[in-house]
Amino acid sequence: MWLQEKMPRLDNDERAEVNQENLDRIFTIPESSGATLARIEQEISSNIDGFLREHIVAEEKSMPEIEADFSSVEITEQPFYVQAYTDFILKHLVAQSVHTSSPGFIGHMSSALPYFMLPLSKIITALNQNMVKVETSKAFTPMERQVLGMLHGLIYERDDAFYQQWLHSPDHALGAFCSGGTVANITALWVARNRCMNEGTISKSGLHGAMQEAGIKGLVVLVSRRGHYSLLKAVDLLGLGRDNLITIETDEQNKVNVQAMREKAEALREQGYRIMSLVGIAGTTETGNVDPLEEIAALSKELKCHFHVDGAWGGPTLFSEKYKSLLKGIELADSVTIDAHKQFYVPMGAGMVLFKDPESLQSIELHAEYIIRRGSRDLGQQSLEGSRPGMALLVHAGLNIIGRKGYEMLIDQGIEKAKHFAQMIDEHDDFELLIHPELNIMGYRFAPKWIQECLQKTDRDSVNWINEKLDLINKNIQKAQREQGKTFVSRTRIGMEKYNGAELIYFRVILANPLTRKGDLTAVLEHQLEFARHELAQEILTEIKQRCH
Amino acid sequence: MWLQEKMPRLDNDERAEVNQENLDRIFTIPESSGATLARIEQEISSNIDGFLREHIVAEEKSMPEIEADFSSVEITEQPFYVQAYTDFILKHLVAQSVHTSSPGFIGHMSSALPYFMLPLSKIITALNQNMVKVETSKAFTPMERQVLGMLHGLIYERDDAFYQQWLHSPDHALGAFCSGGTVANITALWVARNRCMNEGTISKSGLHGAMQEAGIKGLVVLVSRRGHYSLLKAVDLLGLGRDNLITIETDEQNKVNVQAMREKAEALREQGYRIMSLVGIAGTTETGNVDPLEEIAALSKELKCHFHVDGAWGGPTLFSEKYKSLLKGIELADSVTIDAHKQFYVPMGAGMVLFKDPESLQSIELHAEYIIRRGSRDLGQQSLEGSRPGMALLVHAGLNIIGRKGYEMLIDQGIEKAKHFAQMIDEHDDFELLIHPELNIMGYRFAPKWIQECLQKTDRDSVNWINEKLDLINKNIQKAQREQGKTFVSRTRIGMEKYNGAELIYFRVILANPLTRKGDLTAVLEHQLEFARHELAQEILTEIKQRCH
């Protein structure tokens, strides 16, 4: 095959024979305990951090180099031995993966995981239940419903009678468990769309006919310009069109301007559009801010439209007695998205959408003969996905083993750590704080104090010119830091009120890993300053200096 | 809380204290190796079948009883110890889950898993990569692209130059990895919808405007009446409306009647509809039959519409030299769905959709500033889902450790086992074969030979009356068998040509578990006959006897 010479391929001598005995063996008897795969399992169990540190190499290989290792599309006729395959994977895949749980990697929304998530994940894999129906999940079905009920209770705080009536009711659902926040947001807006006209019309006859009949020009969704990109996917998928996700300006704290939202909604109505849903954000992806949810709730009540809250990131702030008031109004939402693989510290692949009204999900309900029969308890009746794993167990475990108080501590510490880091930046001579933390997300950039002072005094053209130069330095610092592999922040670019709305590149920091200590934060800045001392950066700084004088 | 007395609750004495030390502990140091969770891991590693047999109890508890164990929505303030939680889970969740990998459970599409899937799943969890972008997945990104390329090659068999050009091209994708076949089918039809008019119009302006402009009454998708229910979800979600999934009659082998499909398509066109896509099925969920894919491909070429093949179940038949000709024409499809958690023997949560044209997925492409940037290699640019786990590794492992020859053996044995079981049924005095296996799915019911003979001779009213009585017996047998928990078949209900299209309940059998032996099949029938001897069944048989004489 092509690229063969460049590629690290498993040796041909190492092929296993395909016969009944070998086939039976891989489906039943584990290899001897001395073998690599068993050893790895043991290593992970006893010391996951050690395993990751040992096997993930720090220095980054270039993508084309890594791609060369995964470039043949040939499927081997004769299989490889498990041992040979495992060696390959350790050397070429694990070594070149990302240490998402490292305390100095504060640019992702992934963090270290509680150790008990690993053995419980293994139980999920071993049991291999399929949540689509009771016949293939049995006790996992009520367990998942309980988890959805617990989250519903966290948000909506209904009384015992409410949960007694709806939690296990076959025809009702307090929410849907899904693969992630994107599917959760899509599900919420799907429900909103199907309910926004004569119940059932859109679902049955389609959008075009229903809108023609109602004489509507378009269905629109309004959200702050800080809304997650999954909302664009949702309006595309649902047939509304991306143009009909209307983004609204935000204030200096990245909170949506509800007055502007109201004016826009009214103008759109006059033009013949119907407001399908308002979306409030509880923890924007890029800045961690929370919209004024109570005000948006009031507006959606006036407009008689759906109110969805995207709390994928910030939802678990409800555990904090100190900070939960930031989310005031979330209990008025018709639907709320929360990602468990974010601040519930569950591995990747666990999102949830909760609905205030246990009948909401009936608007997407579906039945079949061999499965998800009417009147059954099958979860697949009211979900976007079909077959799904029993990931809800991991949320169930977190809620019981970490508990309210544990999650509260995690949330509080993250926010306080972000405030601390913001203060460090503010007091530092070489950095500029751009995103003040409301939750545990903040943003800053490399910009020595003298440049910051210059930016305050100079003319608008120079401000833009200098900011473009700073963008270049900051982009290069972030890339170099990532490639070095010791610490990591992400980078993004948004419009900043401080600089007349100009879009600036900044370092995005997420402080959710409980293992991140102050020393890690210091290290992040030290590494960045290292790269700022490089030739190219210094040249640009000299240019800026000339402009500033 | 309510239900407290009925509920097995963890004891209040068993609460752990929330403090920094305990929090650090759960994120770093595993409990001592003697503890339950560590012991379970060890048990699963050394003998998964033994673990499942030991912990899953055979006798079924009623759902209300199980629900009582998961009925409180209270989130504990102070957490439980891992030990206490694990004991609870073993007793109340694992014990009441379904033994999906048992050789006698031949009613699900889940089977036993190769043992290496477990430690590799653990590596995925430990690394916790997020496939949405390279920054959080690195080598996992090219690895997933390679897997998609291997599957693309299996279906489309393009030459090396093709894969060299497209496999790792940032702006292209040979497919999308997703949480399951439902999301795969939705993605395929989403692409079909966005491409069916002036490229970009629907995605940008929405369905209503685009259709108005083009003067189209509706977009329709045509599929056999054996199509999977996820297609109904797809047309609802995409805004076409469920009425616009047009189901076409099938022949005696449950294959779509392409002539009827053509006539329907032409009639719809005359009425002002546009044919968005034809869907062919490679392995219907209920009967395991394959549509005449070549003919459907030819028709879709005539109609100039998208041609999607749902090969969620049957796709891997391509590994079999002996049986792959059944899928002839699949290489003409614009898109193909394959589920890895079915016949690739990967744990739950792994679907794929492959596209013939590497540009297809650009019709749903999306970018953002902090992620999935234009020109990046980020997989999240062209996928329905956002954050996703690195499940592709398990398919990669299967393809390398089982290989073409191994999968071929699994496919061939399944089909031959189904043929053998069909013969057993045919020769049995008490059962009637209703679905002859084409792949490894077949169907039959309890219907003693004398009733079968009577059904051939008697009038139409009596046939219907007898079939209704048999439905009742078969439904009860299936339920009793499931509750007993020793063996399992599923049941469904479809229209049978043999009985003038009347819908009949039958036992649906899927022979994909390599550990299923002839003895297991005999046991399945013995258990069914046990329940057929029960009083109620005997009474009904007496009634039928009277009608037959």
Whether residue A7 is predicted with pLDDT greater than 60 in this model: the reply is no
Cβ neighbours of A209 in B, within 8 Å: 218, 241
Whether residue B418 is predicted with pLDDT greater than 80 in this model: the reply is yes
In this predicted model, what pLDDT tens digit does every residue of A329-355 receive, in sequence order? 999 999 999 999 999 999 999 999 999
For residue B509, the cross-strand partners are B442
Chosen for mutation from B5, B12, B21, B26 (greatest number of chain A CBs closer than 10 Å) is B26
What is the H or E stretch that residue B161 is in?
helix B160-166
The sheet carrying B335-339 orders its strands as B175-178, B351-355, B335-339, B306-310, B273-281, B218-224, B245-248
Please judge whether A370 and B75 are an interchain contact, meaning their C-beta atoms are less than 8 angstroms apart.
no
Nearest chain A residue to B378, by CA: A63
Please judge whether B123 and A40 are an interchain contact, meaning their C-beta atoms are less than 8 angstroms apart.
yes
Mean pLDDT of the A459-477 span = 96
Whether residue A186 is predicted with pLDDT greater than 50 in this model: the reply is yes
Q: How far apart are the C-alpha atoms of A360 and A395, rounded to whole Å?
A: 23
Exposure string for B338-347, b = 16+ CB within 10 A, e = fewer = bbbbbbbbbb
Please judge whether A112 and B410 are an interchain contact, meaning their C-beta atoms are less than 8 angstroms apart.
no
Between B33 and A396, name the one with better pLDDT: A396
Taking CA atoms, A285 is separated from A107, A109, A261, A511, B362, in Å, by 11, 9, 20, 13, 24
What is the H or E stretch that residue A513 is in?
none
Q: How far apart are the C-alpha atoms of B393 and A94, rounded to whole Å?
A: 11
The alpha carbon of residue B268 is apart from the nearest alpha carbon of chain A, in Å, by 15
Q: How far apart are the C-alpha atoms of A213 and A533, rounded to whole Å?
A: 65
Per-residue pLDDT at A152 = 98
pTM confidence score: 0.96
Chosen for mutation from A313, A379, A387 (greatest number of chain B CBs closer than 10 Å) is A387
| Residue located via tokens 């591995």 | A347
Please judge whether A72 and B341 are an interchain contact, meaning their C-beta atoms are less than 8 angstroms apart.
no
Tokens of B414: 């399944």
Please judge whether B70 and A143 are an interchain contact, meaning their C-beta atoms are less than 8 angstroms apart.
yes
The alpha carbon of residue B289 is apart from the nearest alpha carbon of chain A, in Å, by 16
Q: Label residue A31 by pLDDT band (50, 70, 90).
A: low
Q: What ipTM did this prediction achieve?
A: 0.95
| CB nearest to B125's CB, from A117, A364, A370 | A117
Per-residue pLDDT at B151 = 98
Tokens of B174: 């040979």
Please judge whether A136 and B98 are an interchain contact, meaning their C-beta atoms are less than 8 angstroms apart.
yes
Cβ neighbours of A208 in B, within 8 Å: 207-208, 211-212, 216-218, 239
In this predicted model, what pLDDT tens digit does every residue of B517-541 receive, in sequence order? 999 999 999 999 999 999 999 999 9
Q: Label residue B3 by pLDDT band (50, 70, 90).
A: very low
* pLDDT > 70: percent of chain B: 96
Per-residue pLDDT at A34 = 53
In this predicted model, what pLDDT tens digit does every residue of B436-447 receive, in sequence order? 999 999 999 999
Whether residue B297 is predicted with pLDDT greater than 50 in this model: the reply is yes
Query: How many residues does the structure list for chain B?
Result: 549
Burial class of residue A119, CB neighbours in 10 A (0-12, 13-18, 19+): buried
Residue B468 near residue B451, CB atoms below 8 Å: no
Q: How far apart are the C-alpha atoms of B136 and B141, rounded to whole Å?
A: 9
Cβ neighbours of B205 in A, within 8 Å: 241, 243-244
Residue A359 near residue A375, CB atoms below 8 Å: no
For residue B508, the cross-strand partners are B443, B490
Cβ neighbours of A366 in B, within 8 Å: 229, 232-233, 236
| CB nearest to A370's CB, from B101, B190, B490 | B490
| CB nearest to B202's CB, from A38, A149, A241 | A241
| Residues whose CB is less than 8 angstroms from the CB of residue B122 and which lie 6 or more positions away in sequence, other chains included | A41, A44, A118, A121, A122, A125
Q: How far apart are the C-alpha atoms of B211 and B208, rounded to whole Å?
A: 5
Which of the residue ranges B44-58, B184-198, B343-357 would you say has the lowest mean pLDDT? B44-58
Mean pLDDT of the B407-425 span = 98
Whether residue A486 is predicted with pLDDT greater than 60 in this model: the reply is yes
Residue B60 near residue B486, CB atoms below 8 Å: no
3-state secondary structure string across A30-67: CCCCCCHHHHHHHHHHHCHHHHHHHHCCCCCCCHHHHH
For residue A219, the cross-strand partners are A274
Please judge whether B341 and A236 are an interchain contact, meaning their C-beta atoms are less than 8 angstroms apart.
no
Please judge whether A108 and B121 are an interchain contact, meaning their C-beta atoms are less than 8 angstroms apart.
no
Between A505 and B32, name the one with better pLDDT: A505
Chosen for mutation from B88, B129, B138, B183 (greatest number of chain A CBs closer than 10 Å) is B138
Whether residue A57 is predicted with pLDDT greater than 90 in this model: the reply is no
Please judge whether A116 and B347 are an interchain contact, meaning their C-beta atoms are less than 8 angstroms apart.
no
Amino acid identity, position A542: T
Cβ neighbours of A109 in B, within 8 Å: 387
| Residue located via tokens 């009417």 | A374
DSSP character for A129? -
Burial class of residue A159, CB neighbours in 10 A (0-12, 13-18, 19+): exposed
| Residue located via tokens 């994909």 | B512
Tokens of A444: 């800053």
Whether residue B478 is predicted with pLDDT greater than 70 in this model: the reply is yes
In this predicted model, what pLDDT tens digit does every residue of B109-162 receive, in sequence order? 988 999 999 999 999 999 999 999 999 999 999 999 999 999 999 999 999 999
Whether residue B32 is predicted with pLDDT greater than 90 in this model: the reply is no
Q: How far apart are the C-alpha atoms of B134 and A80, rounded to whole Å?
A: 28
Per-residue pLDDT at A199 = 76
Per-residue pLDDT at B497 = 86
Cβ neighbours of B117 in A, within 8 Å: 125
Please judge whether A153 and B75 are an interchain contact, meaning their C-beta atoms are less than 8 angstroms apart.
yes
Q: Label residue A2 by pLDDT band (50, 70, 90).
A: very low
Q: How far apart are the C-alpha atoms of A180 and A247, rounded to whole Å?
A: 23
Residue A387 near residue B181, CB atoms below 8 Å: yes
Considering only CA atoms, give the Rg of chain B: 26
For residue A273, the cross-strand partners are A218
Please judge whether A153 and B44 are an interchain contact, meaning their C-beta atoms are less than 8 angstroms apart.
no
- In whole numbers, what is the pLDDT of chain B averaged over residues? 93
Q: What are the start-end ranges of the H helices in A351-433? A: 392-401, 403-427
Exposure string for B149-172, b = 16+ CB within 10 A, e = fewer = bbbbbbbbebeeebbbebbbeebb
Cβ neighbours of A207 in B, within 8 Å: 206-208, 239-241
Per-residue pLDDT at A9 = 57
Taking the alpha carbons of B151, B156, B158, B164 in that order, is the dihedral positive or negative?
Answer: negative
* pLDDT > 90: percent of chain A: 82
Please judge whether A149 and B73 are an interchain contact, meaning their C-beta atoms are less than 8 angstroms apart.
yes
| CB nearest to B514's CB, from A27, A98, A100 | A27
| CB nearest to A27's CB, from B114, B153, B339 | B114
Q: Label residue A3 by pLDDT band (50, 70, 90).
A: very low
